Structure 1
Amino acid sequence: MKGLVRLFWALMVGTFAITHLVQPQDQLGFISLDCGLPANESPYTEPFTNLTYTSDAGFIRSGKTGRIQKDPGSNYMKPYTVLRYFPDGIRNCYDLSVRQDTKYLINTLFVYGNYDGRNSPPRFDLYLGPNFWATVDLQRGYGKEEIVHVPRTNTLGICLVKTGTTLPLISAIELRPLKYGTYVSQTGSLKSLFRQFFSTRNRGIRFPDDVHDRDWFPYFEDDWTEISTNQSVKDADGYEPPRDAVITAATPANASEPLIVYWPLESPDDQVVVFIHFAEIQSLKANEIREFNILANGKIDYGTYSPNKFEVETLSNPVPLKCDGGECRLLLLRTQRSTLPPLINAMEIFSVIEFPQSETDQNDVAAMKNIQAAYGLDIIGWQGDPCAPKQFMWDGLNCSIPDISTPPRIVSLDLSSRGLSGAIAPSIQNLTKLQQLDLSNNNLTGGVPEFLANIKSLLVINLSGNNLTGSVPQILLDRVKEGLKLNVQGNQKLCDSSCKKKFPVAVAASVPTVAIIIIVSVIAFVFSRRKMSYYADEHASLGRRNRRFTYSEVTSMTNNFERVLGKGGFGVVNHGFLNDSEQVAVKVLSQTSAQGYKQFKAEVELLLRVHHVNLVSLVGYCNEGDHLALIYEYMANGNLQEHMSGKRESSVSNWATRLRIAAEAALGLEYLHIGCKPPIIHRDVKSANILLDENFQAKLADFGLSRSFPVGSETHVSTDVVGTFGYLDPE
């Protein structure tokens, strides 16, 4: 169970079983960064695993390159021979693009190798986004942190934080997508403790033998007996352990004795999730039975179990296990009727790690990145999450953080005396909760934009000491009358509304007439084009969208519509896999459905433009002849109605969970009402349309019956209840 020793093996080429010529393997979705590798040496193929590594230069804005001093007799794989270290700043962060709501195995590897000649291994903290992940201590010269994690946005921040006098460093970052239904945890993410197979061999296993590039290490006790097979062993659950890890197994040398596996915890308070891989790898005679009971630390009873013949099955504890005294024990105990001792092929141990701090509102994050790019701001502290954790908040920002479960919002932006030039960046208007804006003492030019008046929360605007020109917009001056504090002093060419430019009378008189003619002409042209386009092909608007699938692709992803999840007014909902890894729900329109192309088109167009953590995401759609289908993210725990009616083993019975689900559903509705332009009414809110993901996070579904609020000159919109009767928004 010596995890650090095993890690050292993993870094050494000679420890992996390369028993065959490496063949090209699918690396779809893999991210393999060689940290510190010069960009001109990227990419390259690592010869022992055939993995393609790229430089990390495009994923971080700070740090310097170091190279380890190789010890005599050591032979590190290439990705671990160079590193990136961070002499500047407290927090330095990688910004990775990932697939939202996809389960990843994330590896971070660290090799000190005395790169600085000081013989002083560093100690520092590691963060995932705004949340603490682990303390990295390289006293042994190397380290590794591995986690199974589901990003809730399409970006992932990995941050190294200086905590003492030594400098943080990193050698490699590796992300591997996993199948959605594997490594399920009721709460939190899963931090790897170790992964082992039971064999007397002394070599580890990783890619390409493991298609997910997991590190497996052999483990065996003196009072065990090894059994093995040369036959193939199938996978039953999607975990896909490598063949070499399951064609061997351990049994007790004394067939009447139990088989016991012990392991220590990093902390006595750790809660553990165990994934045990079992397969019967012996051909049993007619009168032979292998049956045993499985107990974890005397608290979790898996019941009586018989392994499948030449098929690996994975068992895990549904409730995290807490081990007294910081040591856990797995006990396999032969039943009375069993003629053979228990066996175990492989196992993986994880501790549950909670990441409670929400990331900053993604619209605010995007706005700050656009502002940063617009002005070319290279501020060392502007890395990672802008607002959280609070001690690493970006310089010049102030954020509202009501509680850790609510995404922080940026309420103050101070960019005074930063040498800014050019116009006032339009992205500022996307900071919709901004209360104070200070752009003073820069070299800003152009006019004062009207959009500043549209930020309803703004209380203070300081534009003094710039080179702004023209007049202050009247709409902004009206806000000043309402209490907005506006400072524009020091802009020599800027004047208020009393500054009027005179035009020749003839030109001035003709402007309204010309404007009216132009506007009417444009409206007529656009209307005629829209009308012609509509009658030519009503379906064409969907055809121009992305994320479109063919009917054959829909058939393939559902395995010919093999597994039905449910039925509704639209049609049948089937389970499917996208790229053999991401689970999806596929809603196929029935030819007898009362809801037709109109509702299908409405739902596609709506979901392609609205995005919120509490709305079910649309992955794509099929629009091929009579075949209409919607492909959604998969919600592992079904809908709320099933839990409330007792059709599922309810995990929403406690008050706190019910309250959270209600609040999350309300947040989805709030976004539709307030965050969308124009606002949207759902018209069919009910428990059957509140879906729950693997963590029982609530998301609203079924938008095909939604309508927009009337805006501008519109006077009417249908608000009739549609579908089966549900809750109708009061609007």
Structure 2
Amino acid sequence: MSAATATARRRYRSPVLLLLCFFASAPIHGQPDVLGFISIDCGIAEGSSYTDGSTRGLKYVSDAGFVDAGAGANAGVRPPYSQQAQPARYLNVRYFPGPAAGARSCYTLRELSPGAKYLVRCGFYYGNYDKLRTLPAFDLYLGVDRWATVNVTTPDERYILEAVVVSPASFLQVCLVNIGLGTPFISWLDLRPLGAAMYPEATLKQSLLLLNLRRPGAKYALNRYHFWRPATSYGVFRYPSDPYDRVWQSYGDVAAWTNITTTAAVNVSNASSFDEPSVVLQSAATPVNATRLDFSWTLDSSLSPNNGNSSSTAYVLLMYFAELQQLPSAALRQFSILINGASWNSSRRSYAPKYLSAEIVKMVLVQGSGDRAVVSLVATPEATLPPILNALEIYSVRQMTQLKTDNVDAEAMMTIRTTYALKKNWIGDPCAPKDFAWHGLNCSYPSSGSAQIKALNLASNVLTGAIDPSFGHLKSLQHLDLSTNTLSGPIPDFLAQMPSLTFLDLSNNKLSGSVPAALLQKHQNGSLILRIGNNTNICDNGASTCDPDKKEKNRTLVTAISVTIPVATLLFVATILILRRRRNKQDTWMANNGRLSGPRERYNLFENGQFSYKELKLITANFREEIGRGGFGAVFLGHLENERTVAVKICSKTSSEGDKEFLAEAQHLGRVHHRNLVSLIGYCKDKKHLGLVYEYMHGGDLEDCLRGNVVSPN
């Protein structure tokens, strides 16, 4: 337990202070409360919360901040199940309908400490919430590893699962997976921080799953027991009796057992599972007129790593002992601990509890499928008193073998998902398990370590706003496609700092400003394929950095010629206006010099500004940089021999403008006048190739300039 958590627990001992504290400190946006607790009622309305009646002040909140927005639906349990005496957290569920098996729905628990231990607990109460009376079965996952199968066999039974886990990152995910046997649902979900010394068997590579077998007389199928016989039935202890809010239930009445109790505090300095005295340890079971105490369990198939098909499972048994009676000097309580009739520890053949001082005896055993484990506490021949047992826990050991996504990559992808409100199938871990990998990702799966994201395709995903810095955290990313969205703002410098990036497509967005010099350098030296075409406000469109002395001139260096056929047709007006003016001057000169004495000679209107198709290929570097597209065709960046920058528009083969129409339409519309047309430099009519060559349009999109500026024909 962290110092901050311990201080918080000492500070809020008073029930009144606890109540006030938790009313003021409910988790917000998926964060823990002041004790580090997360308590979620899955199914209540967003923004709502309440104080749990079975604890002193723990507040349960809506799951809206923990599950993806819009995921699943809420429902209440139905009569007669809703009319039974139930804690509030069992009266509603969130369910996740899906069209087929394989769908994954996840809760993300945030603001955790990487490498810290946590208890994760969840509850399920069907209660005919869907009015179908169809009892489902589905899988539960801790991160990328399967936890258990939730198999609902009766509508009014409460199913509770607990696990002790080490969080590999600042977040932990609990996922429900549809296995084709009904709709997954959940009633509530808890997370509790544990002390660092507790449950040392729980590591990053393995978790402890609390045995989930119901025994006669027990309220829940949770194998964590105390041995009080309280007046009220079952006798469940949790927070604040247990500062970690573990649920301890009574083992129940056993005719051959009785119990001894004390009101004195039990020292727990030798019991790492407790950091302060607990009522749980103030009672102990002991046999009546006998010298042995036996208990047993069988394999829990729901926790089997292979859905019950595992040949063997490892278990950890924790037994708590403390002598509760002040024994006279002649009395001796001493016993052996046997497992299936054999000594559990060859070096320690007997055990004697210490007065008011708790200790833990731990047993690790491997149990075959269908086997029954029997534990016996047997008094030694020297003993004058029978054995005792104060409490016990039984855990199944689960190896966490699945590769998960690198923590930094996973955090970055979850931020990207949130920033752009992406739905898709982006739930849970981005890369793992492979069957659940997010759409649009390519991941590498090494033989050891973490999966890494190599490619990310978010083309045509309606992304808006700036390019989020989280993209820069994907250090192994080689291929990034953000094309055909409405991203705006400058191209960020961090894109040039991504060490593995070899392909970047930012085309067809609304990005602006200059291209970072480092990014251009990578493009020019061949280490990066860079696509930035059709961003109307990108300075220079990647040819070079912006010249500060020509800032005003180059404010919009991508000429926005991606306009429709009607706008392209208006370009022909410029052709006619310019060339008719030239022809009139030529005719006047010829008339004044006696050159028109006979019939007018045929004059090629375009002869001074005509380009061959081969010349256009040279000007545009073989049409390398497309900067626009419209109904008439594509527009390419070009440079003349005098370094004058031009735009070259090529008639596409599918354009409605043909060979004859190219000239006929221009002549027909020659009467239209327009005062804001770009300067036409020339044209190409080379066999089947038609094109226009003109200067950049400065100050914005040509289409914007044309609107409202066309005057009627003469």
AA aligned opposite 2:236: I
Which of residues 64, 70, 74 in structure 1 aligns to 2:73? Answer: 64
AA aligned opposite 1:329: V
Which digits, 9 at most, give the CA deviation of each residue in 1:195-231, with x for residues without a partner?
1223555422223333332222223575623132343
Which digits, 9 at most, give the CA deviation of each residue in 1:273-300, with x for residues without a partner?
1110112223322211111111223362
**Contact 2:241 / 2:280 at 8 angstroms: preserved in 1?**
no
Measured at CA, do residues 254 and 110 of structure 1 come closer, stay the same or move farther in structure 2, by a change above 3 Å?
Answer: same
Give me the whole-angstrom Cα distance separating, in 2, the residues matched to 1:431 and 1:377: 19
Measured at CA, do residues 320 and 103 of structure 1 come closer, stay the same or move farther in structure 2, by a change above 3 Å?
Answer: farther
Give me the whole-angstrom Cα distance separating, in 1, the residues matched to 2:334 and 2:62: 51
Q: CA deviation at 1:447?
A: 4.2
Listed as ranges, the matches of 1:157-168 within 5 Å are: 157-164=173-180, 166-168=182-184
AA aligned opposite 1:232: A
Q: Which residue of 1 aligns with 2:293?
A: 259
Give me the whole-angstrom Cα distance separating, in 2, the residues matched to 1:458 and 1:479: 10
TM value normalised by structure 2: 0.62
**Contact 2:441 / 2:455 at 8 angstroms: preserved in 1?**
yes
**Contact 1:474 / 1:497 at 8 angstroms: preserved in 2?**
no
Q: Which residue of 2 aligns with 1:179?
A: 195
Which digits, 9 at most, give the CA deviation of each residue in 1:651-704, with x for residues without a partner?
xxxxxxxxxxxxxxxxxxxxxxxxxxxxxxxxxxxxxxxxxxxxxxxxxxxxxx
AA aligned opposite 2:361: L
Measured at CA, do residues 426 and 182 of structure 1 come closer, stay the same or move farther in structure 2, by a change above 3 Å?
Answer: closer
- Report whether the alignment pairs 1:273 with 2:287: no
Give me the whole-angstrom Cα distance separating, in 2, the residues matched to 1:212 and 1:74: 29
Q: Which residue of 2 aligns with 1:577?
A: none
Which of residues 341, 350, 354 in structure 1 aligns to 2:386? Answer: 341
Q: Which residue of 1 aligns with 2:282?
A: 247
Give me the whole-angstrom Cα distance separating, in 1, the residues matched to 2:482 and 2:417: 13
Q: CA deviation at 1:252?
A: 2.9
Is 449-458 or 176-185 further displaced after alignment?
449-458
**Contact 2:202 / 2:208 at 8 angstroms: preserved in 1?**
no
Which of residues 402, 409, 427 in structure 2 aligns to 1:364? Answer: 409
The share of aligned pairs that are identical, in percent, is 37
AA aligned opposite 1:488: I
AA aligned opposite 1:250: A
Q: CA deviation at 1:45?
A: 4.1
Give me the whole-angstrom Cα distance separating, in 2, the residues matched to 1:436 and 1:499: 23
- Report whether the alignment pairs 1:227 with 2:259: yes
**Contact 2:93 / 2:186 at 8 angstroms: preserved in 1?**
yes
**Contact 1:204 / 1:215 at 8 angstroms: preserved in 2?**
no
Give me the whole-angstrom Cα distance separating, in 2, the residues matched to 1:227 and 1:501: 86
User: Matched residue of 1:284: which SS?
Assistant: coil
User: Matched residue of 1:402: which SS?
Assistant: coil
Which of residues 192, 211, 214 in structure 1 aligns to 2:243? Answer: 211
Measured at CA, do residues 312 and 464 of structure 1 come closer, stay the same or move farther in structure 2, by a change above 3 Å?
Answer: same
Measured at CA, do residues 164 and 445 of structure 1 come closer, stay the same or move farther in structure 2, by a change above 3 Å?
Answer: same
Which of residues 91, 98, 112 in structure 1 aligns to 2:104? Answer: 91
Q: Which runs of 5+ in 2 are unaligned?
A: 1-13, 22-33, 212-222, 302-310, 554-714
Give me the whole-angstrom Cα distance separating, in 1, the residues matched to 2:535 and 2:131: 55
Q: Which residue of 2 aligns with 1:383?
A: 427
Measured at CA, do residues 205 and 485 of structure 1 come closer, stay the same or move farther in structure 2, by a change above 3 Å?
Answer: same
Which of residues 356, 361, 374 in structure 2 aligns to 1:310? Answer: 356
Q: CA deviation at 1:179?
A: 2.3
- Report whether the alignment pairs 1:192 with 2:210: yes
AA aligned opposite 1:392: F
Give me the whole-angstrom Cα distance separating, in 2, the residues matched to 1:123 and 1:22: 40
User: Matched residue of 1:127: which SS?
Assistant: strand
Which digits, 9 at most, give the CA deviation of each residue in 1:374-396, with x for residues without a partner?
4x223152222111111111121
Q: Which residue of 2 aligns with 1:713?
A: none
User: Matched residue of 1:305: which SS?
Assistant: coil
Q: Which runs of 5+ in 1 are unaligned?
A: 1-20, 509-731
Which of residues 106, 117, 122 in structure 2 aligns to 1:103? Answer: 117
Q: Which residue of 2 aligns with 1:394?
A: 438
Q: CA deviation at 1:398?
A: 1.1
Q: CA deviation at 1:60?
A: 1.3
Q: CA deviation at 1:153?
A: 1.8
Q: CA deviation at 1:505?
A: 9.0
Listed as ranges, the matches of 1:584-623 within 5 Å are: none
Q: CA deviation at 1:242?
A: 7.7
- Report whether the alignment pairs 1:482 with 2:514: no
**Contact 1:223 / 1:252 at 8 angstroms: preserved in 2?**
no
Which digits, 9 at most, give the CA deviation of each residue in 1:604-625, with x for residues without a partner?
xxxxxxxxxxxxxxxxxxxxxx
Give me the whole-angstrom Cα distance separating, in 2, the residues matched to 1:48 and 1:496: 64
Q: Which residue of 1 aligns with 2:480?
A: 437
Listed as ranges, the matches of 1:513-524 within 5 Å are: none
- Tell me how large the CA RMSD over aligned residues is: 3.0
Give me the whole-angstrom Cα distance separating, in 2, the residues matched to 1:282 and 1:411: 65
**Contact 1:436 / 1:460 at 8 angstroms: preserved in 2?**
yes
Is 194-203 or 115-124 further displaced after alignment?
194-203
Q: Which residue of 1 aligns with 2:377?
A: 332
Q: CA deviation at 1:183?
A: 2.0
Which digits, 9 at most, give the CA deviation of each residue in 1:621-643, with x for residues without a partner?
xxxxxxxxxxxxxxxxxxxxxxx
**Contact 2:515 / 2:545 at 8 angstroms: preserved in 1?**
no
Q: Which residue of 2 aligns with 1:39?
A: 46
**Contact 2:403 / 2:433 at 8 angstroms: preserved in 1?**
no
Is 287-296 or 220-229 further displaced after alignment?
220-229
Q: CA deviation at 1:498?
A: 4.3
User: Matched residue of 2:495: which SS?
Assistant: helix
Measured at CA, do residues 305 and 467 of structure 1 come closer, stay the same or move farther in structure 2, by a change above 3 Å?
Answer: same
User: Matched residue of 1:303: which SS?
Assistant: coil
AA aligned opposite 1:69: R
Measured at CA, do residues 139 and 419 of structure 1 come closer, stay the same or move farther in structure 2, by a change above 3 Å?
Answer: same
Which of residues 123, 126, 130 in structure 1 aligns to 2:144? Answer: 130
User: Matched residue of 1:145: which SS?
Assistant: strand
**Contact 1:59 / 1:95 at 8 angstroms: preserved in 2?**
yes
User: Matched residue of 1:235: which SS?
Assistant: coil
